């Protein structure tokens, strides 16, 4: 039921390499979230945006991760220097507002070798 598009579906990187993934939110949804889901099914919030502005982000995101949601372009999440512990499913979600239902994309599964 989701119209959130995430690419690529799978991403394989070596340690120290950059890893970049993209997300096109559902049309008309100004709010975008990025979550990391590890192999133990634990979700970690990374960052969220309203339009192009960052609303919240965690420390990890501030240091090794960069993210943006430019106008008229896909949102992106980039890991500057991948580590083995970054291997996870990265989920993007969009919402019509800050306190409304989230719709997730299919995720990008990152494997860092």
Partner 1 sequence: GDQVEQSPSALSLHEGTDSALRCNFTTTMRSVQWFRQNSRGSLISLFYLASGTKENGRLKSAFDSKERRYSTLHIRDAQLEDSGTYFCAAEQGTGSKLSFGKGAKLTVSP
Which of 41, 72 has the CB closer to partner 1? 41
Size of the site for partner 1 (CB under 8 A): 26
Query: Could you say whether residue 76 binds partner 1 (CB under 8 A)?
Result: no
Which of 1, 72 has the CB closer to partner 1? 1
Which residues, listed in sequence order, are joined to residue 30 by a DSSP beta bridge?
A: none
Instruction: Please check whether residue 13 is in contact with residue 85, taking contact to mean a CB–CB distance below 8 angstroms.
Output: no
Q: Give the pairing of strands 108-112 and 10-13.
A: parallel
Instruction: Please check whether residue 64 is in contact with residue 3, taking contact to mean a CB–CB distance below 8 angstroms.
Output: no
Query: Could you say whether residue 111 binds partner 1 (CB under 8 A)?
Result: no
Question: Which residues contact partner 1 by CB under 8 A?
Answer: 1-2, 33, 35, 37, 40-43, 45, 48, 55-56, 89, 91, 93, 98-104, 106-107, 109
């Amino acid at each position: 039921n989701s119209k959130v598009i995430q690419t690529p579906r799978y991403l394989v990187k070596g340690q120290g390499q950059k890893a970049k993934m993209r997300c096109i939110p559902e049309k008309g949804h100004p709010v975008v979230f990025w979550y990391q889901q590890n192999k133990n099914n634990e979700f970690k919030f990374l960052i969220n945006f309203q339009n192009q502005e960052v609303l919240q982000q965690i420390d990890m995101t501030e240091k090794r991760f960069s993210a943006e949601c430019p106008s008229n372009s896909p949102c992106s999440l980039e890991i500057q220097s991948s580590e083995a512990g970054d291997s996870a499913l990265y989920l993007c979600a969009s919402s019509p507002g800050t306190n409304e239902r989230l719709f997730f994309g299919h995720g990008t599964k990152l494997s860092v070798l």
